[in-house]
Structure 1
Amino acid sequence: MKFMKLGSKPDAFQADGGGGDSRSSSRRYVLSDLPSDIVVHVDDARFYLHKFPLLSKSSLLQRLIVEASQGGADEVRVGGLPGGARAFEICAKFCYGMVVTLNPYNVVAARCAAEHLGMTEDVDKGNLVFKIEVFLNSGVFRSWKDSIIALQSTVALLPWSEDLRLVARCVDSIAAKATASPGSVVWSYTYNRKAASSDEIVEARRCSSSSPAVPRDWWVEDLCELDVELYKRVMVAVKSRADRVPSDVVGEALRAYAARWFPESCRRGDTPADEDDACAMEVLETIVWLLPSDGDGSSPCGCSCQFLLNLLKLAVLVGAGELLREELLDRIVLQLHEASVSDLLIPAKPPAQTTYDVELVEALVGRYIRRAGLDDIDGEDVFETNGEADDPSLLALCKLVDGYLAEVAADPNLPVSSFVGLATSMPESARPSHDALYTAIDVFLKMHPNLSKVEKRRISSLMDVKKLSKEASIHAAQNDRLPLRVVVQQKLKKSEKKHLANVDAHYTQDPKTTKQKKLPR
């Protein structure tokens, strides 16, 4: 951490009782042979000081002291001072030439207070504003972590820190470093995440060949300490340099920030408390707003489908608006086939009786199908070549849907219409095997024992027994939960296969060993 010492005289500021921390007392004074001739009120603190050192450095104190003297008073009040009594003490010590240490934690407050007090070059050469600017430019803004610390301190000093462009300068400093080439990173940073070797984001090494590689996302964790408004400003500045920051790195930054700031209840999938609800909503809106608009082929928006679906889960939990949910749906549908069953287990909100929001998943699948231009296809094998489906994405999505059906089928409150609606949302050509669908049907029938015969037939008719494997066929033939018609079909299918196999075996025998029966004349 950078620091700058100003002044050379010993620190003579004292609090009531002597020797104590002057910042903890409301009455502060300077040890001197000369008695105090002016009292300065700052917030609830009183400073017993001397006029001459103050008059030589501060234009505001010059005016206030002159006005007080004309009225015969020896007390002045400095109202609205940014940084309060602590910042004023730094400025007062500078006026006396006492040793004062500037660091990233207090420099912004000191800069705002010095501006308010008029401690500029017009009053005295080498005044406090000038000294602080030197420290900011030569120290704080050259340091990665010091820039972040200084930016965090600006929040309590608004609007002064904004008007003096201290916020903007901190943001620019941070964004410039975050978008620098990893090979030029020579400062310390926080990196505790474990990256798999295949997914590790590494671009360059330091100058020394023995130094460890610097990940492209080295800056992500340190920014997670910023509150949501500051984080938004920094990320906007980072994204504006899009030619230097790939979408996948921006996506990783958003994922890390979400993990840091989403309440624990939200990460567990529970409905958050009111105070957590507001926090989660603000973070969610910011992250969705910051999502990259482009990406590579494997991740069209720079974020994984799993991360986007987690955001959608949170949007459902906190009751996010329709526009935000639509934005997420539009992004998810681009890579829905990459999701897992657990990713799709989005809790249903009351008054829904089901455990999971099956209608939302059906809407996602329908959106995917429409985007692929399949909504007008009804059972045509347009995705098949020589009898085999040739669209890997569609096959993966159908496998996902069938796995999801098997999971939600265990919910006794899931209506037949929802199960059928989702099962029939996929084109027939995308389901070359019906084993997974049969598993889902079997679970549904088991968990809904009171279905009518009509409903059972409706559920079972989703399955094409001709597309079952040998193992699934054997199980289906012995399954007493299936309607009798389906079981009979399955047994007939087995019988037909056996008959064809016998015929085939008969006509493939060696003619020399086959006895020919003479036909009667």
Structure 2
Amino acid sequence: MGASCDLQVDVNGEGTFFVDKTVISLYSGTLRKLFGKSVVGPAQNLKVIFQDFPGGTGGFELLLRFCYSSGRMEITPYNISLLHSAAHFMDMTVDSGQDVSLMELTRKLLDEIRYWTWPELLVVLKQCQDLHPESTASTVMEKCLDCLARRLVVAAETSPSPSSISSSDSSACRLSCDTKSTVSFKNGLSSSRTTWWFDDLLFFSPGVLEMIVKSMASNKIDHPTISKFLFYYQKSNFPAASSSQERVKIIEAVIVSLFMLDRSSVPCKSLFGILRVALGLNVSRSSMNKLETMIGSQMDQATLDNLLVPSPYRTNCLYDVNLVLRLVKAFLRGGACRNSKQLKKVGDLLDLYIAEVAPDPSLKPLKFVTLVSALPDSARDSYDEIYRAMDMYIEVHPGLSEEEKTKLVFALNYEKLSSESHKHLSQNTRLPSQTTIQALMTKQCKLKSLLQVTNNTRLPITGSPRGVSKGKAEGQENDQIVIYAGVPDPMADNLRLRAHLQGMQWRVMELEKVCRKMQAQMTKILKSKSTSHSSPRSLPKLCS
């Protein structure tokens, strides 16, 4: 059959081919559908434009070789990626009635992937990555990644020799001695039994990185080893990235991949290193949440230097307090706080951090109180460090109002202050008046007593109807505890207790206002009666 050039093919705008329409349509279902069932006809001036053809002009030329050789073309690991992608693009199946199809031939070679050498696997993966930079989920790549992961499992279980790496099933396939893999095996990372392959996989794009890590994890590869590779990948590829967008993709891929692993396999120190890099980039909130969750789960292993992260650009504070609050929240959310030892370690760490940020003149009072209250009371055996940090904070912020100081002092647990701290507090002129402090201490003790009572088993009252026990008349100062007979109603109890506590809080606030007014009046009276040579007298204790 004489060849003709009755079809003009434009491939991705890179080049134009003049081909025989009959020969190409014989193997391509796409062209048969385009030209109709009859592929033989009078010569016509036809032109086809292909966009996004796999491999561009090189891939199309390889496809032509297959068609013009009647399918008698050798398919190897070095051209299977192009041929398989082209066959899928052109719908080259056996539907045309031919005895051979390109798609079937590539699939047959993929079935023998266990006999491929390590360098052949890497070449195919590199070609797949270049062919599908955005969508990497191709059949060839998935099979190669799975095979690569299984090779690493075998290599970890045995001595990492070239023969054991090149094929898991056949000793006939040897690793060629002139490859980069062999060089790295003999020189750099080859001295380590578990990290010899790190350099070989650095060419992976961020998208492929997530796929290979998922494949490694599913094949039960040691998670600490995968973690080491991910940090090595980030340190090796990040400096070479040509744009901030590429750096963001690298960091996000590493974070997402680390999130697939066991938390105990990822060092806390290395996570903080990733965090400092990520904070300088426009990393997505989703990736940052994953990173903060991983750090929060190991918060008890962090150090003060890890937490002293500078505040974001164009903010007044010295350190990023919001970040630390999010890490503490992640720690509590992860359930690690159930371990009292871990909880107390985090409590000690947070106390050190609070003492470090207290001298910051830009730190708001509400943020300081939030830091102090971030952990449950059981995280601290003593509040002495908190009191010292609070005293320093009030000294650095002389413009605080009486109300702001009161909120700060109320964050203390007076029962966990040492006698020395109690003595210093009673003589501290920078704090609110002693009357206010005494009222706050009384209020705190009452609240704790109420909570303790509500946690105890309710006592039945025989012969009494369900309801509130009658006590003193309405308006009396003494607080009453609600006790029920019969079956308790937890929801109603909580509502009554909440209303009761709010009432107590309102009465204490009113008492504070009265004390402040009386103290101001007494100060004016004493100033008017005092002489210029008399020494200042201490104010009498009011409302104590």
TM-score w.r.t. structure 2 length?
0.53
Q: Secondary structure at the match of 1:179?
A: helix
> CA contact under 8 A between 1:263 and 1:276: conserved in structure 2?
no
> CA contact under 8 A between 1:399 and 1:436: conserved in structure 2?
no
Task: For 2:390 and 2:240, locate their aligned partners in 1 and report how far apart those are by CA, in whole Å.
Answer: 35
> 2:357 is matched with which residue: 408, 427, 442?
408
Distance apart, 1:146 and its partner CA: 3.5
Partner of 1:251: 227
Partner of 2:83: 110
> CA contact under 8 A between 2:248 and 2:281: conserved in structure 1?
no
Gaps of 5+ in 1: 1-34, 196-210, 266-272, 376-382, 384-390, 469-476, 487-521
Alignment of 1:112-511 (within 5 A): 112-114=85-87, 116=90, 118=92, 142-155=116-129, 157=131, 165-184=139-158, 185=160, 186=162, 187=165, 188=181, 212-215=191-194, 217-220=195-198, 222-241=200-219, 244-259=220-235, 276=244, 280=248, 284=252, 287-288=255-256, 291-292=259-260, 294=262, 299=264, 302-309=265-272, 314=278, 318=282, 320-321=284-285, 328-348=291-311, 353-362=316-325, 364-365=327-328, 368=331, 392-423=341-372, 425=374, 444=393, 448=397
Distance apart, 1:405 and its partner CA: 2.6
Task: For 1:240 and 1:59, locate their aligned partners in 2 and report how far apart those are by CA, in whole Å.
Answer: 38
Q: Secondary structure at the match of 1:73?
A: coil
Task: For 1:120 and 1:160, locate their aligned partners in 2 and report how far apart those are by CA, in whole Å.
Answer: 29
Query: 1:312-367: CA deviations, max 9, x gaps?
Result: 6637964744x766655554333211012232234545886424332442354366
Query: 1:387-424: CA deviations, max 9, x gaps?
Result: xxxx6534532342233234433532112443344346
Task: For 1:409 and 1:194, locate their aligned partners in 2 and report how far apart those are by CA, in whole Å.
Answer: 48
Find out whether 1:83 has 2:55 as its counterpart: yes
Gaps of 5+ in 2: 166-180, 432-544
Task: For 1:324 and 1:130, locate their aligned partners in 2 and report how far apart those are by CA, in whole Å.
Answer: 41
Task: For 1:417 and 1:118, locate their aligned partners in 2 and report how far apart those are by CA, in whole Å.
Answer: 68
Q: Secondary structure at the match of 1:41?
A: strand
Length, aligned pairs only:
392
Task: For 1:107 and 1:141, locate their aligned partners in 2 and report how far apart those are by CA, in whole Å.
Answer: 15
Find out whether 1:70 has 2:41 as its counterpart: yes
Task: For 1:124 and 1:160, locate their aligned partners in 2 and report how far apart those are by CA, in whole Å.
Answer: 33
> CA contact under 8 A between 1:220 and 1:256: conserved in structure 2?
yes
Find out whether 1:45 has 2:21 as its counterpart: no
Higher strand share: 1
Distance apart, 1:304 and its partner CA: 2.5
Letter in 2 for 1:339: A
Distance apart, 1:85 and its partner CA: 1.9
Partner of 1:59: 27
Query: 1:89-146: CA deviations, max 9, x gaps?
Result: 2233453599999775643112333563748798777776666556656579723453
Distance apart, 1:180 and its partner CA: 3.1
Task: For 2:109 and 2:336, locate their aligned partners in 1 and report how far apart those are by CA, in whole Å.
Answer: 61
Partner of 2:171: none
Letter in 2 for 1:409: A
Distance apart, 1:68 and its partner CA: 7.8
> CA contact under 8 A between 2:121 and 2:148: conserved in structure 1?
yes
Letter in 1 for 2:5: I
Identity rate, percent: 23
Q: Secondary structure at the match of 1:176?
A: helix
Greater relative contact order (CA < 8 Å, ≥ 6 in sequence): 1
Higher helix share: 2
TM-score w.r.t. structure 1 length?
0.54
CA RMSD of aligned residues (A): 5.7
> CA contact under 8 A between 1:445 and 1:456: conserved in structure 2?
yes
> CA contact under 8 A between 1:41 and 1:76: conserved in structure 2?
yes
Distance apart, 1:286 and its partner CA: 7.4
Task: For 1:134 and 1:122, locate their aligned partners in 2 and report how far apart those are by CA, in whole Å.
Answer: 19
Letter in 1 for 2:225: V
Task: For 2:86 and 2:218, locate their aligned partners in 1 and report how far apart those are by CA, in whole Å.
Answer: 32
